[in-house]
Structure 1
């Protein structure tokens, strides 16, 4: 079993939560069997413990870019606005919530930030003008409504998950994936399966969600069919699987059907090794026959 990468939204072993082991026997659905296999291949972990506002910031920075690009932006932002004593994710002990940053409130600091200065600070993340405006607007709202990052963190970890998600989605610039990441990595809420481009592609390609499902429909199928305690590592491990094996244009099975560790569980919707063709599952001829059950 591999170690979870530190340079991603979850933060690896230092990003909160704790590694665990789950019994893969008697899976109740093919989606659960998929997640169990991913857990054996990568990691099995329950999440939670990240500071909610920093998690929101980190997820905004990760939008439409890679971890390689967004991680330096996050580190630069924390160094400039989080205070000189702000612990980085790589310095936090596993399973522990971040310690206060010497009375520096990140939300208040960003609410007062110059948009030009913030944009320059996070430039490596791409779309930095748009993201800097979004971060300042979110910070202002969180300071106004929750008094700062501590009040927001309490809301995310204590309030009903549905209420938290609804509130987050009401914030301009926060989409379903971002809201779900905050619920999972900060709130530690079970049964939350964030859907990014990797998860959206792979769930439909495997056939555990309908080929024509949008992101929200994929989330609904996965959260329905995967036990709550397995959704967190199912999300992060599926992303890693998408990066290593089931890439958008050249999945491993194209060259060698046995190269993919999920081959016996996959419907290969939209993937045709005999011709080398790969299409979006929704455009596959067999899409009408894929039920996601």
Structure 2
């Protein structure tokens, strides 16, 4: 059986935050946004939900985010549900702690359980290794959750990035969806593309540089919502190959804030912002 994801289309709604945790954000759009990035997030708030995040169990959030790597929510969500049904509370492999259950799993069984997420051999190996480390260093999922929610964000991020198989986006998602930390703006492929295309970050910025630009220019309480809403905007309007503006200049609700770096509506051509000949490497 192939490990490659099947390229499932994204769901209508962004479910990357899951159903648990978070609530209404309480912020209102600024009368006079301090930066263009804040103005973009406020405009997204007129179209999508404004939600605060936090409250997910940290190890389960880490599992969910690993499963989402290199695939869609539509593919990773069933894998998460199957894993929880088998290794979570009440499941046949439950060991009184999710980290203990996953650490004790055989790789073949875990890989079969999460197969819908794609790359299941690599992901099952990663999850077992992460579970063993959480058990060894924290004693279990509950203590790991306390570490993520109570320790300083910088320390938590440093520790997460030291875990093999955890990259910046995964670490930031755990900080956001579990820790509920303000000022954390995870950067996935949608956010990376849109921020550079709009001119909110340098055209040649890598994911970490985009994150730094957005966390600098978006108020802390709006970063989590900005992440999820920008993903939804990318799915609906600012896709990689055919953004809405290539069909109709007025079709994009953020047209007045966009530099269209690498997008040429007159010809329909679309290139990575870093490859645009006129790209400016200094964002506003």
CA distance in 1, matches of 2:53, 2:207: 22
CA distance in 1, matches of 2:138, 2:34: 41
Aligned equivalent of 1:210: 202
User: Secondary structure at the residue paired with 1:285?
Assistant: coil
Please state if 1:77 is matched with 2:83.
yes
Aligned equivalent of 1:89: none
What are the residue-to-residue correspondences of 1:98-177 with 2, within 5 Å? 104-177=96-169
Aligned equivalent of 1:8: 15
Structure 1 residue 5, shift from structure 2 partner = 7.0
Distance change >3 Å, CA 228–CA 7, structure 1 → 2: closer
Please state if 1:62 is matched with 2:53.
no
- Structure 1 residue runs without a partner (length 5+): 87-101
CA contact (8 A) 2:14 2:231 kept: no
Distance change >3 Å, CA 7–CA 26, structure 1 → 2: closer
Aligned equivalent of 1:97: none
Please state if 1:232 is matched with 2:224.
yes
CA distance in 2, matches of 1:203, 1:39: 16
CA distance in 2, matches of 1:7, 1:128: 22
Root mean square deviation, CA, Å: 1.6
Aligned equivalent of 1:276: 268
Structure 1 residue 15, shift from structure 2 partner = 2.3
Structure 1 residue 23, shift from structure 2 partner = 2.6
CA distance in 1, matches of 2:240, 2:201: 17
Structure 1 residue 20, shift from structure 2 partner = 2.9
Q: Deviations over 1:232-259 (max 9, x none)?
A: 0000000000001000001000000111
CA distance in 2, matches of 1:260, 1:84: 47
CA distance in 2, matches of 1:271, 1:5: 25
What are the residue-to-residue correspondences of 1:277-292 with 2, within 5 Å? 277-287=269-279, 289-292=280-283
**Which of 22, 28, 35 matches 1:23?**
28
Q: TM-score, normalised by structure 2?
A: 0.93
Structure 1 residue 169, shift from structure 2 partner = 0.1
**Which of 193, 198, 212 matches 1:201?**
193
CA distance in 1, matches of 2:26, 2:46: 9
CA distance in 2, matches of 1:271, 1:44: 29
CA distance in 2, matches of 1:7, 1:44: 13
Please state if 1:180 is matched with 2:155.
no
Q: Deviations over 1:151-187 (max 9, x none)?
A: 0000000001000000000000000000000000000
Q: Number of aligned residue pairs: give it.
A: 272
